[in-house]
Chain A
């Protein structure tokens, strides 16, 4: 018995040997924004939670300047009574000026610090990161960080945004023949929204792609489990199958919305010499909305819809690839495929070859259901 008491006492006392962190004295950083100032200085905007019962608000925002990312934290510590810690960092926002120069400069510390989670979301601001984090339109979230984080997480789960965690970014950055792709935050009436995806050469921002086009990127690169898509199909071709003419004649497109899209894709490198790729995509989904009154129970209509849908996707894929070629970026990983046949020596080698690639898309679509009405 005496032994047990001794051991218990020792256990209680020994816990004091390691460093203590009282939650009331901590400022738990959840979001960090980085901007590049003209003199080469970094400006950091930190949002942190505080659990002090005496405090008025749950979170605080601090802006500080330094030459390095960790310097920002040290400088921020001079402006707060809380000990700032980064174990709960959920989101990093990079200002566009910094992103154009390259984000690796600050990403290095995020990767090096074992306290920072690999599941941190990386985003790029279309203008200044500070402006986005200072916004006070956050719906009913606890603070702006919470709002941004839930918005991005939700859209990744809904398969609208690419999986853009710190791990994924580093993976794509270091992999030969592949570039990262990150979501971009923009202010619309003072509220942060997602409009574009950032096209990057290694860690440098070089162009933008509308989020909607991101669908085709994901279609080639991986698979959908429950995606959705709105398309405009040529109205002319369906005219004979209309039950009534409920829409204005002057629109030449029929808009169809698909959801619960399931897809599979197989990307192949046909010839490494001429850089010809082929992607076979099979896709099935259900129709949720049609702008015209179509005789959807007619098998011929469904067939026509499927064909038109497929050819539209093929065209869109071509145009997206064209954008990639113009910007010399490869977020899909064509280069990875090339690398597995002809090992590349360095990243730049593939960058030179990107404008010469050609992608032949072959799409098969199937419409499974069309809602609860005919």
Chain B
């Protein structure tokens, strides 16, 4: 397999769009329930946990940028083969592809459950799954430019949801945040760890890089996207902690969605129903990107045709979602996946960067000595 990926100009994208691609890949089902997870350990200091996780993410993105700079136009599957050799490189690539597959299942299951709880209690899982998957397959068939376009459109289409949060903001109580630093460092650190599930997804930079036209600006666009997601998560968590009282928050499964229950307009009495429906626009780009990442990685590693992989993956996903039925299973699966995601997005790039530097240093030395 080739390490460098040469992409024709016709299907390249502007670095500007990387912001939307990364941001929409990060924001999805995680943010629906993030506050409860962080609050369960870091309590009123949850906001510190998010800042810690945000800084860490920024460092990880920085390492990704540095790794990519070492190559002209390569992506992670290619780099892995270059660094670790064919066998290990392909093995790691397979793990990545499977991880994205798992991410897709987790997003699908979580969102379908929300639909069943809030909107249609009797609708079967497979039906919603079929609808969502057909949209995902349709978008991925369109290629990278369509995927990026969907991210951009759906970002613009949902970002206004932030405005209606004025109502819960007006009901916030600031003494829920006192005393500051009332929890131990280890609690805050484990809160930061729990934040990572809603932040993963920025590793898409390592895959989309060859498709970017002006590669120099890619790094800053990625940093901006990471910053945007951190701020959004921070806003959501701060508002939910202020709006709900502590033990009440701990009982909620999706505090972010529950918060929409207080919003009421004379033309839309139950805004939460609209919000849950609109959430599909937040979740779809997420699933589309994950599907593209999964199929693209398989294509890169094994030289398969992406279309065939796509159809097989869609069928497997369809049956995969039937296996998981209740809340506890979904929770268990999501937790395990979050741990894997943490190592892939937050640890791996930081470890990989020195290895890449070392390898290239040795290579250059050999080149000069010959």
Binding site for B on A (CB under 8 A): 14, 17-19, 87-88, 114, 117-119, 165, 167, 170-176, 178, 336-337, 339-341, 343
Q: List A contacts of B120 (CB < 8 A).
A: 18-19
Q: Are B262 and A343 interface neighbours, CB within 8 A?
A: no
**B246 close to A174 (CB less than 8 A):** yes
Task: Report the nearest A residue to B121, measured CB to CB.
Answer: A19
- A-contacting residues of B (Cβ < 8 Å)? 117-118, 120-123, 127, 131, 171, 173, 175, 178-179, 182, 243-248, 251, 258, 261-262, 264, 269-270, 272
Residues B261 and A117 in contact, CB atoms below 8 Å apart: yes
Listed by A's residue number, 28 A-B pairs whose Cβ atoms lie within 8 Å are A18-B120, A19-B120, A19-B123, A87-B270, A114-B117, A117-B264, A117-B269, A118-B258, A118-B261, A118-B262, A119-B264, A170-B245, A170-B248, A172-B245, A174-B245, A174-B246, A174-B247, A174-B248, A174-B251, A175-B246, A175-B247, A175-B248, A336-B173, A336-B175, A340-B175, A341-B178, A343-B179, A343-B182
Contact residues in A for B175 (Cβ distance below 8 Å): 336-337, 339-340
Complex partner residue of B118 from A114, A171, A336, CB under 8 angstroms:
A114
Q: Which residues of chain B are near A174, meaning CB under 8 Å?
A: 244-248, 251
Bound-complex Cα distance A175 to B248 (A): 7
Contact (Cβ within 8 A) A340 B178: yes
Name the 7 nearest CB pairs between A and B, nearest first.
A340-B178, A175-B245, A174-B248, A118-B261, A174-B247, A174-B245, A18-B120
List the A side residues contacting B258 at CB < 8 Å. 118
Number of A-B contacts (CB under 8 A): 62
Least Cβ distance of B210 to chain A in Å?
A: 33
Q: Assuming A17-B127, A18-B123, is B246 touching A176 (CB within 8 A)?
A: yes
B244 contacts which chain A residues (CB < 8 A)? Answer: 171, 174
Q: How far is the CA of A337 from the CA of B248 in the complex (A)?
A: 18
List 19 additional contacts besides A114-B272, A174-B244, A341-B179; criterion CB under 8 Å. Answer: A14-B131, A18-B122, A18-B123, A19-B123, A114-B118, A119-B261, A167-B171, A171-B244, A171-B248, A174-B245, A174-B246, A175-B245, A175-B246, A175-B247, A176-B245, A176-B246, A336-B175, A340-B178, A343-B182
> Which residues from A are CB-within-8-Å of B127?
17
In the complex the two chains form, what is the Cα distance from A349 to B118 in whole Å?
Answer: 37
Chain A nearest CB from B117 CB (Å) reads 5
What is the distance, in angstroms, from A8's C-beta to the closest C-beta of chain B? 16
Closest to A88 in B: B269
Could you tell me the distance between the alpha carbons of A176 and B182 in the complex, rounded to whole angstroms? 15
Distance, CA A87 to CA B120, complexed state (A): 13
| Residues of chain B within 8 A of A165, CB atoms compared | 262
Which residues does chain A contribute within 8 Å of B182, judged by CB atoms?
343
Which A residues touch B261, using CB under 8 A?
117-119, 167
| B318 CB, nearest partner CB in chain A, Å | 16
Complex CA–CA separation, A134 to B117 (angstroms): 33
Q: Which residues of A contact B245 (CB under 8 A)?
A: 170-172, 174-176, 178
Min Cβ gap B126→A in Å is 11
Contacts of A343 in B (CB 8 A): 179, 182
Nearest CB of A to B43, in Å: 9
Could you tell me the distance between the alpha carbons of A76 and B117 in the complex, rounded to whole angstroms? 23
CB of A19 within 8 A of CB of B122, answer yes
- A residues within 8 A CB of B179? 340-341, 343
Q: A18-B120, A18-B123, A336-B175 are in contact. Are A117 and B248 (CB under 8 A)?
A: no
Residues of B within 8 A of A336 (CB): 173, 175
Closest B residue to A120 by beta carbon equals B261
Inter-chain contacts of A87 with B (CB < 8 A): 270
**In the assembly, what is the distance between CA of A170 and CA of B250, in Å?**
12
The complex places the Cα of A119 from the Cα of B270 at a distance, in Å, of 10
Per the bound structure, the CA–CA distance linking A17 and B182 in Å amounts to 51
How many whole Å from B239's CB to the nearest CB in chain A?
14
B269 contact set on A, CB distance < 8 A: 88, 117
Minimum distance in angstroms from A249 CB to a CB of chain B? 50
Residue of B nearest to A116 (CB): B261
Distance from A270 Cβ to chain B, minimum over Cβ atoms (Å): 16
CA A337 – CA B245 in complex, angstroms?
A: 13
A339 to B179 CA separation, bound complex (whole angstroms)? 8
**What is the chain A residue whose CB lies nearest that of B248?**
A174
Give the CA-CA distance A339 to B121 in the complex, in Å. Answer: 40
Q: Please give, as numbers and ranges, the residues of chain B lying within 8 Å of A176 by CB-CB distance.
A: 245-247
B261 to chain A, nearest CB (A): 4
Q: Which residues of B contact A340 (CB under 8 A)?
A: 175, 178-179
Chain A residue at smallest Cβ distance from B179: A340
Q: Find chain B residues with CB under 8 A from A118 CB.
A: 258, 261-262
Q: Name the distance in Å between B265's Cβ and chain A's nearest Cβ.
A: 12
CA distance A17 to B128 in the complex (A): 10
The residues of B that contact A17 with a CB separation of less than 8 Å are 123, 127
Which residues of B have CB within 8 Å of A119?
A: 261-262, 264
Name B44's closest neighbour in chain A (CB-CB): A340
Closest chain B CB from A186 CB (angstroms): 28
> Residues of A contacting B123 with CB < 8 Å?
17-19
